[in-house]
Amino acid sequence: MSTHDHTPESGNHDTDEPGDSTPGHDHYHEGCDGCDHSSSNPWETRSLIASGVLVGIGLILQWTKALPALGTEAIFTAAMLTGGWFLLPKAWRAILRFRPDINLLVVIAAIGASIVGEWAEAATVVFLFGVAEWLEGWADRRAQRAVEDLLEIAPKTATVKREGRFADVPVEAVRVDETVAVKSGMNIPLDGEVLTGESSVNQAPITGESVPVDKKKGDVVFAGTVNGEGSLEIRVTKVAGDTTLARIIRLVKEAQEQKAPTQRFVDVFARYYTPAVTVVALFIFLVPPLLLGGDWSQWLYRACVLLIIACPCALVISTPVSIVSGMAALARRGVLVKGGAHLESIAKLKALALDKTGTVTEGKPQVQGVETLDQRSEREVLRIAAAIDDHSSHPLAKAVVEYAKKKGVDFPRAENYQARSGRGAEGSVEGHDYFVGNHRFTHELGVCSEEVERRLAVLEGKGQSVIVVGHRPHGDCKGEVLGILAVGDTVRPNAAEAIKALHAAGIESVVMLSGDNQRTADSIAKQVGIDEARGDLLPNDKVTAVKALREKHGSVGMVGDGVNDAPAMATATVGIAMGGSGTDAAIETADVTLMTDELGKIAETIRLGRRTLGIIRFNIGFALGLKALFLALTLLGHASLWLAIMADTGATLLVVANALRLLR
């Protein structure tokens, strides 16, 4: 918030070995009935390899006719049992639930192919289905591990100072306010504050910053970041389970449980699609022979081909792997997204609303000068303002207090302090009633004379915020302005470039919402290329402005720097918090949190969100299109079990590879 409202601010790695299982990812496939990819284990992998070897031997023997037909049939039967022993219990459960699933479809198709004498195709169906399942499980684990690898960057032990000596202890045993030592080149074990030493710290794992950040006494450091050339002693501020890194991992895991709209659609589609195709296959098997005199073997074969084509593996895997890959890619860049639904919403944004202070500007205002009226001295005006502002944690109030101390002005602490949200504050100093506030407040109090208006216009035209100091109207006293403090806040160096990138990313309108006066807001907006600036806004006015933007554009993002902007962020389609690494509340409340104050990351997030949505749409379209094509070929008698299972496995492999591109 930029108004002088004096309200508190919110302030072993990737092995990918076959059979390696990561628990907890089976929720990706709730729509793929019976698809339990999380159950992958070494025995299933070895069985799959053995099945493939037996299929290969059987095919060679069949082509060379080295064995009689009965011998090759025995080998193919062994291949089916070896590669499909774990399918039978799942298929039986599907029968008991009266809910046909992929496992049941494959078992029926394999049995049917065997009945009509297509033993090689039956064994190949079981083997290639196992390959497809393994690929899906591997993709799940790969995407999941991309996030979980973040946990590996935090040390398991910390060098803690106890009883005057340093000793290595597990990070879980370290308490808040204890001192830990971090040597050069070592990873920082816990969140904390630098006590002694200076060094540059690589914060890329948490914030995505490409350049190390210099740290000195009093600066905040995060678990999992890498100390540079210096040696640091750090006071621990958060225990192991509550570090910024740990909370990021926890929130990402929770986000994976929140399904995106596209994923919910696919799940519902698959839930009805599989049983429907099973019924169609049954009709294809029964109707032509019974009513048209068709050959039973021929139509049983076609029904089996249809059952294989019905397996929606590629369709079901297309969305969750893409979503998790996209969220993992953003987490690596220091952007935390709270779930697939928000990632999809980001991709659809048409307009973006920005708070001014702490978002477009640095959020570190400084008093540039003091103008006096009524023959008051600068020190007297500054003394009154600091006495009232000493009660507030607002950035403008802090700037006034710091400036007074810098100038050596002694000030008391005001009594009867009252904050006026979005306007300023009032208080009594040595028995006299005073106020400090913005331009709007002077009009509401009826103390804005022509001279005051002229001076304010000059300062606001320079893009400066103004703090008016004066006697508060009380009883017979009409009140008067004693002086004006000009406060300047530096525009972020990359703000203009970031706004340009937002437009390039497809954002139609960028609007700045500020509690500051309109002239100041217009000046800042002009500097950085913002399309529209709206000033003199109270917190509820920002909510109204966001609602208006939603009515006009449909999908709107709101960017703020903490809890003060929470109402507007909640009203927007997507709430985006700046600088989450310094504001715990921001991580908890926003839909998207930028772990640094880099405005440019918003455009990067939008681009990656749209890329993710594009990949999801392609994968779904490809999977459905392929199914439709092969359904038609089956009904016309031009598809075989070989072709069906190869198409299903190939489609699965393609959509998985396409989704995992997001991790690059």
Tell which phi-psi region holds residue 60, choosing left (phi > 0), alpha (psi between -120 and 50) or beta: alpha
Contact of 663 with 331, CB cutoff 8 Å:
no
Give the list of residues 6+ apart from residue 336 with CB closer than 8 angstroms, or none.
248, 251, 252, 330, 580, 587, 592, 593, 595
Which amino acid type is present at position 48? Answer: L
| Pairing between β-strand 192-196 and β-strand 232-236 as defined by DSSP bridges | antiparallel
Q: Tokens 């996030």 map to which residue?
A: 147
Give a three-class secondary structure readout of 322-346: HHHHHHHHHHHCCEEECCHHHHHHH
Tell which phi-psi region holds residue 358, choosing left (phi > 0), alpha (psi between -120 and 50) or beta: left
Contact of 239 with 247, CB cutoff 8 Å:
no
Contact of 576 with 557, CB cutoff 8 Å:
yes
| Pairing between β-strand 192-196 and β-strand 157-162 as defined by DSSP bridges | unpaired
How many DSSP H helices and E strands does the chain contain? 22, 22
Cα 603 from Cα 569, distance rounded (Å): 18
DSSP helix/strand/coil, 236: strand
Cα 447 from Cα 471, distance rounded (Å): 9
Choosing from 355, 389, 536, 648, which is the catalytic residue? 355
Tell which phi-psi region holds residue 394, choosing left (phi > 0), alpha (psi between -120 and 50) or beta: beta
And the tokens for 590? 């926003």
Give the list of residues 6+ apart from residue 411 with CB closer than 8 angstroms, or none.
382, 383, 384, 386, 387, 390, 404
Task: Note if 355 is an active site residue.
Answer: yes
Contact of 485 with 467, CB cutoff 8 Å:
yes
Using CA atoms, how far residue 249 sits from 20, 244, 281, in Å, is: 20, 9, 45
Which candidate, 150, 324, 167, 147, places its Cα nearest to that of 222? 150
Contact of 459 with 467, CB cutoff 8 Å:
no
**Residues that are catalytic:** 355
